[in-house]
């Protein structure tokens, strides 16, 4: 009972021995008392058809579907199939936990609470099982129920931190401000005891409590205890700066946000903080601080072991924010990141649209969204989005460069060149810009400009493997500057020996200088490293042909033909499969 030991450790300082004893010993009574919080909740018929259904022939198929959906990150379908399995067997602990977990992860908080209540009636304790009921009680402002439920959470490992957090806010809402501060301080000490070096972030929650009390002096005292660095979590920096702005310290807030990375646009941050500084704080901000503290606490204490709970806590925050009538961009950004990771474009679209343009997280969210559009080959959509945004928000080099990237990917190099040239004037020390300019110049047959741009890129960054490989391969493919090409590509391979495309380039330059033995070695290595690349199979087929290995050559060309999507390339390879290579091909 680590919590009990910790509470005892700080007993004299916080004078809460009696509360702690009750907390530890009466958790079963607390469970009974708060049953009324969710006893009248009924699940949507689409979610749970009937607990008493007797349809055992479908149990196995539903369970297999649920497992398949779970494995593929489709938590919505998994929740559906697990819950339908429960309609057949509602006493299976594994099904109860899986159904609860997936319902919770998809934001079906009320449904998850009902599953947890049913499990409790069977004497099963679900992981994070108390959390949905906590949120429902908080939404209903039933703070006595929150207190009782938090007692349960505080002694159950997976919900321990959340339990302390909810208890502190419940006490504040019950006009027990000193007790609220006490539990925030216990939470901070608990985190410190468990190895979280930056546990002083809990001071942010206390500062926000004093902001609600319009006690700016005390708020500033607690804010001053938060030590921020450039490596600090961006959400901690944003939330701390926002609270300084609420406290009337706009300049301090503005200095803090300068610690944020480049993808947070400073001009947007300034405007946002100015608006925050003008806000008249009222009780309605209580829900905002409370919901935000849930996602922030989860982010600040995130580990590999707790990462799986991130989506659940984000949904918990969003449930409260939606119920209380305000948006919560920090939680929407987390959900956008998770949706992108699972390649769920529909959800990504929803959560991106949920973050307003004026929010400081908007540019970061846009970059995440654009990255997913790129993965899905939705380049036209990305270009439209960027052009629309940049028409209203000028002077944004990062997004101008991204627009140029999408033009280049979309084979609109003329438009990309214009953008890259404009950006390069203001980012003259960026090797990346000149490499990408070189690529576009080469693809538009501007040889001299391309070589100059690649030269500038390598002058700025001699270890730019992309520039080394692209320039070397270009020269090798055209059969010129082969010595220099060999040097460039060899260096790229030395920098990244596991890169199949670089190995292919090295094999190709060996082929071009007539060293077919080394060419085969490197191209076969390239196939091992990048087996799904058509060009590499095509190259290896050419080398096999020159070595007289005709069957193997046609075999590789057939692979390339199946992989190529470009009609011209498919036609070229088809000709080689039929007629082989002409002698002068080398």
> Residues 407, 374: contact at Cβ < 8 Å?
no
283 φ, ψ (degrees, to nearest 5) = -65, -20
> Residues 297, 316: contact at Cβ < 8 Å?
no
DSSP 200: G
> Residues 457, 439: contact at Cβ < 8 Å?
no
| For helices 431-443 and 447-460, angle between their N-to-C axes, nearest 10 degrees | 160
Domains of the chain plus CATH, in order, are 34-126 (1.25.40)
Rounded Cα gap, residues 331 and 342, in angstroms: 17
Does 401 score more than 80 pLDDT?
yes
Which of the four pLDDT bands, split at 50, 70 and 90, describes residue 194? confident
| 519-552 residue pLDDT tens | 999 999 999 999 999 999 999 999 999 999 999 9
> What pLDDT score does 61 carry?
62
Rounded Cα gap, residues 245 and 419, in angstroms: 37
> Residues 54, 88: contact at Cβ < 8 Å?
yes
Task: Find the farthest-apart pair of alpha carbons in the chain and give their distance in angstroms, rounded.
Answer: 93
| For helices 284-300 and 202-212, angle between their N-to-C axes, nearest 10 degrees | 180
More confident residue, 212 or 59: 212
**CB under 8 Å to 50, separation ≥6 — which residues?**
87
* CA-wise closest residue to 10 among 152, 181, 176, 221: 181
> Residues 235, 330: contact at Cβ < 8 Å?
yes
Does 14 score more than 70 pLDDT?
no
CA–CA distances in Å: residue 314 to residues 94, 335, 395: 24, 7, 33
Does 53 score more than 70 pLDDT?
no
Whole-prediction pTM value? 0.82
Q: Where are the alpha helices (DSSP H) in 447-498?
A: 447-460, 465-478, 482-495
Rounded Cα gap, residues 155 and 332, in angstroms: 29
* CA-wise closest residue to 399 among 268, 259, 219, 572: 268
* CA-wise closest residue to 162 among 205, 197, 112, 119: 205
CB atoms within 10 A of CB 444: 14
CA atoms within 13 A on the CB side of 56: 1
* CA-wise closest residue to 333 among 316, 312, 314, 346: 314
Which of the four pLDDT bands, split at 50, 70 and 90, describes residue 94? confident
Does 278 score more than 80 pLDDT?
yes
Q: 169-201 burial, b if ≥16 CB within 10 A, otherwise e?
A: bbbbbeebbebbbbbbbbbbbbbeeeebebbbb
Residue length, the chain? 586
By mean pLDDT, which of 87-101, 199-213, 217-231 is the weakest? 87-101
- Please give the span between the terminal C-alpha atoms of the chain, in angstroms, as a whole number: 76
Mean pLDDT of the chain: 87
* CA-wise closest residue to 16 among 4, 30, 27: 4
Q: Where are the alpha helices (DSSP H) in 174-280?
A: 177-193, 202-212, 216-223, 234-246, 250-257, 266-278
CB atoms within 10 A of CB 478: 12
CA–CA distances in Å: residue 577 to residues 189, 526, 562, 582: 71, 21, 12, 12
> Residues 343, 72: contact at Cβ < 8 Å?
no
CA–CA distances in Å: residue 245 to residues 220, 269, 273, 364: 11, 11, 6, 21
Degrees to nearest 5, angle at CA 564 with 563 and 565: 115
> What pLDDT score does 65 carry?
67
Which of the four pLDDT bands, split at 50, 70 and 90, describes residue 12? very low
> What pLDDT score does 151 carry?
94
Does 438 score more than 90 pLDDT?
yes
DSSP 482: H
> Residues 272, 254: contact at Cβ < 8 Å?
no
- Region 349-364: mean pLDDT is 95
């Amino acid at each position: 009972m680590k919590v009990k030991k910790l509470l005892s450790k700080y007993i004299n300082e916080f004078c809460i021995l009696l509360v702690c004893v009750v907390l530890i010993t009466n958790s079963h009574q607390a469970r009974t008392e708060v049953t009324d919080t969710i006893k009248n909740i009924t699940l949507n018929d689409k979610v749970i058809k009937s607990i008493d259904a007797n349809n055992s022939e479908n149990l196995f198929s539903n369970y297999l579907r649920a497992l398949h959906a779970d494995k593929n990150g489709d938590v919505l379908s998994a929740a559906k199939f697990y819950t339908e399995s429960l309609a057949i067997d509602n006493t299976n602990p594994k099904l109860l936990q899986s159904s609860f977990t997936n319902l919770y992860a998809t934001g079906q908080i009320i449904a998850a609470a009902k599953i947890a209540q049913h499990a409790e009636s069977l004497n099963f304790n679900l992981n994070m099982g108390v959390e949905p009921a906590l949120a429902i009680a908080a939404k209903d402002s039933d703070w006595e129920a929150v207190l009782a439920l938090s007692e349960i959470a505080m002694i159950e490992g997976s919900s321990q931190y959340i339990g302390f957090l909810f208890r502190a806010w419940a006490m504040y809402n019950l006009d027990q401000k000193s007790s609220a501060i006490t539990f925030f301080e216990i939470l901070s000490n608990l985190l410190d005891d468990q190895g979280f070096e930056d546990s002083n972030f809990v001071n942010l929650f206390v500062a926000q409590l004093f902001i609600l009390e319009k006690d700016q002096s005390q708020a500033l005292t607690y804010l001053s205890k938060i030590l921020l660095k450039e490596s600090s979590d961006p959400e901690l920096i944003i939330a701390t700066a926002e609270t300084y702005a609420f406290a009337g310290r706009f300049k301090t807030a503005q200095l803090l946000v300068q610690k944020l990375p480049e993808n947070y646009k400073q001009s947007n941050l300034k405007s946002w903080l100015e608006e925050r500084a003008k806000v008249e704080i009222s009780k309605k901000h209580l829900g905002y601080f409370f919901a935000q503290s849930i996602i922030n606490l989860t982010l600040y204490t995130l580990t590999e072991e707790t990462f799986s709970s991130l989506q659940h806590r984000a949904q918990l925050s969003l449930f409260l924010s939606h119920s209380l009538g305000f948006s919560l961009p920090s939680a929407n950004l987390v959900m956008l990141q998770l949706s992108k990771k699972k390649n769920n474009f529909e959800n990504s679209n929803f959560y991106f649209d949920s973050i307003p343009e004026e929010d400081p997280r908007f540019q970061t969210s846009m970059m995440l969204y654009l990255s997913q559009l790129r993965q899905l080959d939705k380049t036209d959509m990305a270009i439209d989005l960027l052009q629309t945004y940049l028409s209203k928000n000028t002077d944004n080099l990062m997004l101008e460069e991204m627009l140029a990237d999408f033009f280049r990917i979309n084979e609109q190099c003329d438009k990309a060149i214009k953008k890259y040239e404009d950006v390069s004037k203001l980012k003259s020390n960026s090797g990346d810009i000149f490499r990408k300019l070189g690529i576009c110049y080469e693809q538009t047959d501007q040889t001299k400009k391309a070589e100059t741009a690649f030269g500038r890129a390598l002058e700025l960054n001699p270890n730019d493997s992309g520039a080394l490989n692209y320039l070397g391969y270009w020269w090798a493919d055209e059969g010129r500057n082969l010595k220099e090409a060999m040097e460039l590509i060899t260096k790229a391979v030395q920098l990244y020996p596991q890169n199949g495309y670089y190995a292919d380039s090295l094999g190709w330059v060996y082929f071009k200088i007539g060293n077919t033995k080394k060419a085969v070695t490197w191209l076969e290595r390239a196939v091992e490293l990048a087996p799904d690349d058509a060009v590499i199979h095509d190259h290896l087929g050419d080398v096999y042909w020159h070595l007289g290995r005709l069957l193997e050559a046609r075999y590789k060309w057939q692979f390339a033909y199946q992989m190529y999507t470009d009609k011209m390339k498919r036609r070229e390879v088809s000709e080689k499969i039929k007629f082989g290579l002409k002698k002068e091909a080398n």
